[in-house]
Amino acid sequence: MIARRDQSKDTPGTAEPFLPVRITLPAMRQAVQGCRGCDLYKNATQAVFGAGAKTATLMFIGEQPGDQEDLQGKPFVGPAGRMLDRALDEVGIDRSDVYVTNAVKHFKFTQRGKRRIHGKPSARQVNACRPWLQAEIEIVKPRMLVALGATAAQSLFGPQFRVSKQRGVPFESNWAPWCMATVHPSSLLRAPDEASRREAWADFVRDCQVIARDYQRVHRAQSK
């Protein structure tokens, strides 16, 4: 267990005061439902915390829950999650062996008739939610960390990080000894035509092959 940080340093607009006294995954999963660190809780069905093995070697971090994640209370269970599962299966990574979460724990959307249209979280909302993400990383201690999309990458690696320029290239950071960024799998679903979808899928799988290559190496080293 990790002791909670000193609340005397809390500032407005942060999830920090809502973290449990003792930082464990079960305690955080329960406490996050009461988070009022930003205004996204007002319209979301529920907070969606991370899921996966506590000792996972590999962690994937996305932007925020989508419509199905918000309804089911689990990360990456909607269309984008199915794309991620398909890619991981293709490169030989078992989804049950990894930890998946999001930079923001509540679904931001605009209601259009019966549909709920995804909205990009603001920098303030991402910053407010960072204590949850930081605590997850501190508990899981992944050797490998993959940011899916610009919001997750900039939350972790700073506002100057550009996935378009730096995707698919492993590097070391304060978060983990092996880090990488790639596109969010939801972007594959927005490709305008079949040819673009095939190209986007091939590029995403190529990034996942890089992840799988080093994942197998790191995983074998940890098993010795």
For 141-169, write each residue's pLDDT tens digit: 999 999 999 999 999 999 999 999 999 99
Which segments of the chain are extended strands (E)? 2-3, 22-23, 51-52, 58-62, 99-102, 109-112, 115-118, 144-148, 178-182
The CA radius of gyration of the chain, in Å to the nearest whole number, is 17
Mean pLDDT of 41-61: 96
Residue-range domains of the chain with CATH: 2-223 (3.40.470.10)
- pLDDT number for residue 224: 64
Q: d(Cα 218, Cα 162) in Å, to the nearest integer? A: 26
Task: List residues bridging with 171 in a β-sheet.
Answer: 179
- pLDDT digits over 101-137, tens only? 999 999 999 999 999 999 999 999 999 999 999 999 9
- pLDDT number for residue 9: 40
- pLDDT number for residue 12: 54
Mean pLDDT of 5-9: 39
Report pTM.
Answer: 0.92
3-state secondary structure of 47: coil
- pLDDT digits over 177-212, tens only? 999 999 999 999 999 999 999 999 999 999 999 999
- pLDDT digits over 79-91, tens only? 999 999 999 999 9
Which segments of 74-123 are extended strands (E)? 99-102, 109-112, 115-118
User: Predicted confidence band at 77 (pLDDT cuts at 50, 70, 90)?
Assistant: very high
CA distances from 174 to 92, 104, 125, 182, 200 (A): 27, 20, 22, 18, 30
Query: Dmax over Cα atoms in the chain, in whole Å?
Result: 55
